[in-house]
């Protein structure tokens, strides 16, 4: 069954003029996107706890029950055992806990740091195309022609929050965490940035929508640029401070690193920032290397013209993101933390030459193929 | 001793064996927990650990088969108790009413379970086999006063000791026999 094509959301709303319509549509999209993102953050934490429990032969969260749903005969206890309501309890807890500010901190920066960590991780989502079309709207917040530059610009802001937290806490473990994170994130940003350049050389555009269009029908860039993908993947782990690269936090060495002195909602903001970062990194990887919302069969590579097709594309995109989230989570319980010098060695002495070589080889390959095809070394 | 460091080969420097090995171990545990035997943890308030015989749990007073409190308030356990958790009030010169024509049962017997260290000295020192460390290992209460167990509570929790000798039963029979005259001929 096909729903009638071109159901338009714009047709249902009053007319606000062209700028007004754009603003209203964007606000609606922002609200939906933030809602989905925050829900995913909350449930990523639950999945993390459950997966870690299963890997360690444990049960994981299985206590939180809702009054009415909990008493449905089979389903209620099952959902409770699954820990479905745990994120609600976690959220309520972070609001109700005492928000303690130690006496020795630099207050202004101490208050600023969690916000500065959280905001960039949310901003990055703006350029990611999370679906094709739905209700006559393009499923991307900002269809920027410099999408990836914007992303890297915003992502590099993320380090400031952590460095600032380390500095503002004014005690030794957070300070060490801050130092480590600045070194680590700056090092890996370079490999990360260099690793995606071959992608854009192949695509010929910095617009992420164009990147997805290029990958239609299964020409996924992960198969064309496996080295770039692997470097990007590892760098994403380092950028999001996940194990095996969680130097800035490293609970066992630094007590908690940059967030040692934080409690209550301020800590929760760091925590949400970390998971939001993971989600945006996953979304970036899906967009750049795994075809975004496309699938190579059943004509799912073309932009949707129906409501069902639009929802299906969003579903495909979310499924791919969730697969990467599970990878992120699984690796945390799989690999031990790198030593600091190993981390630096990997970033500077392995990945940097590797990405440069990859860049060079791709350039030569493109030059040879375009010359062979058109007799002209420059693509038009 | 100097441990020789093996030079890593190409694959090891790519972290390939480490990643594969890590995945193997984690997948093994994940699959075992989710698809096969389930988690190894015990969900405590619902499932409780069954203690092995000889486990030293909380000390309780016991009765013998005749329903007699075995304790004779000799106060040896009170004396030996390292954290001074036991306090016994003896019945005084006239003896406890209802203790029969035998020995002095305690007027009151209190164990402060907050102080008790479950060492088992009281059981060890008791000449009457009247106090035993039993199987309870998780004692909870909402106040300190509630955690001081009195004689009634200790006896209720302790239950009956299947005593083979039944010393006081025989003593009582002897005492009753002395009231009978003439003395029946010895068997």
pLDDT (tens digit per residue) in A17-76: 777 777 888 888 888 888 888 899 989 999 999 999 999 988 888 888 888 777 778 888
Judging contacts by C-beta atoms under 8 Å, the chain B residues touching residue A59 are: 39, 41, 43
B88 and B141 housed in the same domain = yes
pLDDT score of B95: 67
CB pairs under 8 A between A and B: 38
Cβ of residue B41 closer than 8 Å to a chain A Cβ: yes
**Residue predicted with more confidence, A339 or B121:** B121
Cβ of residue B29 closer than 8 Å to a chain A Cβ: yes
B34 and B65 housed in the same domain = no
Flag whether B154 is in a domain.
yes
Flag whether B47 is in a domain.
no
Q: Give the distance from residue B147's alpha carbon to the nearest chain A alpha carbon, in angstroms.
A: 28
Flag whether B116 is in a domain.
yes
Flag whether B32 is in a domain.
yes
Instruction: Give the residue from chain B lying closest to A327, CA to CA.
Output: B23
Q: How confident is the model at residue A172 (pLDDT cuts 50, 70, 90)?
A: confident
Q: Region B18-44: what's the mean pLDDT?
A: 88
B29 to A56: CB separation less than 8 angstroms, yes or no: yes
A333 to B26: CB separation less than 8 angstroms, yes or no: yes
B114 and B82 housed in the same domain = yes
Measured between CB atoms, which of A58, A62, A330 is closest to B26? A330
- CATH code, domain with B90: 3.30.70.3270
Q: Give the distance from residue A297's alpha carbon to the nearest chain B alpha carbon, in angstroms.
A: 30
Number of domains observed in the structure of chain B: 2
Flag whether B46 is in a domain.
no
B29 and B90 housed in the same domain = no
B31 and B103 housed in the same domain = no
pLDDT score of A115: 87
B93 and B143 housed in the same domain = yes
**Residue predicted with more confidence, A15 or A315:** A315
DSSP bridge pairs for B108: B89
- What phi and psi values does residue A206 have, to the nearest 5 degrees? -95, 0
- What phi and psi values does residue B112 have, to the nearest 5 degrees? -85, 105
- What phi and psi values does residue A204 have, to the nearest 5 degrees? 85, 20
Flag whether B171 is in a domain.
no
**Residue predicted with more confidence, B135 or B167:** B135
**Residue predicted with more confidence, A285 or A5:** A285
pLDDT score of A3: 44
Are A37 and A122 in contact by the 8 Å Cβ rule? The answer is yes
B63 and B151 housed in the same domain = yes
d(C-alpha A51, C-alpha A105), whole Å: 36
B71 and B157 housed in the same domain = yes
B92 and B25 housed in the same domain = no
**Residue predicted with more confidence, A218 or A153:** A153
Q: Could you give the maximum distance between any two Cα atoms of chain A, in Å?
A: 73
B82 and B35 housed in the same domain = no
Secondary structure (H, E, C), chain A:
CCCCCCCCHHHHCCCCHHHHHHHHHHHHHHHHHHHHHHHHHHHHHHHHHHHHHHHCCCCCCCCCCCCCHHHCCCHHHHHHHHCCCHHHHHHHHHHHCCCCCCCCCCHHHHHHHHHHHHHHHHHHHHHCCCCCEECCEECCCCCCCCHHHHHHHHHHHHHHHHHHHHHHHCCHHHHHHHHHHHHHHHHHHHHHHHHHHHHHHHHCCCCHHHHHHHCHHHCCHHHHCHHHHHHHHHHHHHHCCCCCCCCCCCHHHHCCHHHCCCCHHHHHHHHHHHHHHHHHHHHHHHHHHCCCCCCCCCCCCCCCCCHHHHHHHHHHHHHHHHHHHHHHHHHHCCCCCCCHHHHHHHHHHHHHHHHHHHHHHHHHHHHHHHHHHHCCCCCC
B39 to A330: CB separation less than 8 angstroms, yes or no: no
pLDDT score of A5: 46
B39 to A51: CB separation less than 8 angstroms, yes or no: no
Flag whether B69 is in a domain.
yes
Q: Region A287-300: what's the mean pLDDT?
A: 81
Segment of A210-219, A326-335, B177-186 carrying the highest mean pLDDT: A326-335
Containing domain of residue B21, as a range?
9-39
User: Using CB atoms and an 8 Å cut-off, which of residues 60-119 of chain A contact chain B?
Assistant: 62
B17 and B100 housed in the same domain = no
B26 and B95 housed in the same domain = no
DSSP bridge pairs for A138: A133
Judging contacts by C-beta atoms under 8 Å, the chain B residues touching residue A51 are: 30
pLDDT score of B97: 64
pLDDT score of B126: 92
Distances (CA, A) of A351 to A286, A290, A347, A354, A358: 21, 21, 5, 5, 10
pLDDT score of B60: 93
Flag whether B114 is in a domain.
yes
């Amino acid at each position: 069954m096909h729903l009638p094509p071109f159901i338009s959301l714009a047709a249902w709303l009053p007319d606000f003029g062209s700028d007004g319509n754009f603003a209203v549509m964007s606000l609606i999209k922002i609200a939906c996107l933030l809602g989905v993102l925050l829900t995913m953050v909350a449930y990523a934490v639950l999945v993390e706890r459950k997966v870690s429990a299963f890997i360690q032969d444990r049960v994981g969260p299985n206590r939180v029950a809702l009054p009415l749903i909990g008493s449905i005969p089979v389903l209620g206890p099952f959902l409770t055992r699954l820990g479905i309501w745990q994120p609600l309890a976690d959220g309520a807890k972070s609001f109700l806990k005492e928000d303690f500010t130690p006496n020795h901190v630099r207050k202004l920066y101490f208050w600023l740091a969690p916000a500065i960590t959280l905001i960039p991780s949310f901003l990055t989502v703006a350029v990611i195309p999370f679906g094709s079309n739905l209700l006559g709207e393009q499923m991307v917040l900002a269809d920027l022609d410099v999408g990836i530059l914007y992303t890297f610009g915003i992502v590099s802001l993320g380090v400031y929050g952590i460095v600032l937290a380390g500095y503002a806490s004014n005690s030794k473990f957070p300070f060490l965490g801050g130092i480590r994170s600045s070194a680590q994130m700056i090092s890996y940003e370079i490999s990360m940035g260099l690793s995606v350049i071959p992608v854009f050389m192949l695509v010929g555009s910095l617009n992420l929508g164009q990147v997805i269009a290029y990958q239609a029908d299964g020409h996924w860039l992960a198969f064309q640029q496996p080295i770039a993908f692997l470097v990007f993947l590892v760098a994403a782990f380092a950028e999001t401070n996940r194990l095996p690269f969680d130097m800035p936090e490293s609970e066992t060495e630094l007590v908690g690193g940059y967030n040692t002195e934080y409690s209550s909602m301020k800590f929760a903001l760091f925590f949400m920032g970390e998971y939001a970062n993971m989600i945006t990194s996953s979304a970036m990887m899906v967009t750049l290397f795994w075809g975004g919302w496309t699938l190579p069969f059943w004509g799912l590579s073309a932009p949707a013209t129906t409501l069902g097709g639009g929802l299906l594309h969003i579903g495909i995109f979310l499924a791919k993101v969730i697969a990467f989230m599970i990878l992120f989570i699984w690796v945390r319980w799989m690999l031990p933390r790198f030593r600091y010098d190993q981390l630096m060695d990997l970033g500077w002495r392995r990945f940097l030459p590797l990405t440069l070589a990859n860049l060079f080889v791709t350039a030569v390959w493109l030059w040879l193929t375009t010359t062979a095809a058109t007799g002209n070394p420059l693509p038009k | 001793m100097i441990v020789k460091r093996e030079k890593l080969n190409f694959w090891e420097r790519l972290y390939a064996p480490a990643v594969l090995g890590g995945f193997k171990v984690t997948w093994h545990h994940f699959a075992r927990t989710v698809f096969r035997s389930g988690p190894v943890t015990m969900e405590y308030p619902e499932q409780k650990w069954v203690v092995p015989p000889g486990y030293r749990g909380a000390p309780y007073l016991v009765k013998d088969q005749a329903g007699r409190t075995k304790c004779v308030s000799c106060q040896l356990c009170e004396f030996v108790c390292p954290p001074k958790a036991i306090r016994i009030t003896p019945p005084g010169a006239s003896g406890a009413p209802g203790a029969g024509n035998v020995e002095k049962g305690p007027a009151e017997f209190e164990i402060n379970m907050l102080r008790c260290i479950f060492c088992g000295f009281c059981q060890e020192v008791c000449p009457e086999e009247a106090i035993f460390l039993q199987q309870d290992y998780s004692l909870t209460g909402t106040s300190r006063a509630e955690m001081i167990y009195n004689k009634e509570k200790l006896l209720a929790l302790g239950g009956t000791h299947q005593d083979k000798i039944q010393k006081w039963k025989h003593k009582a029979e002897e005492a009753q026999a002395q009231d009978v005259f003439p003395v029946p001929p010895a068997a």
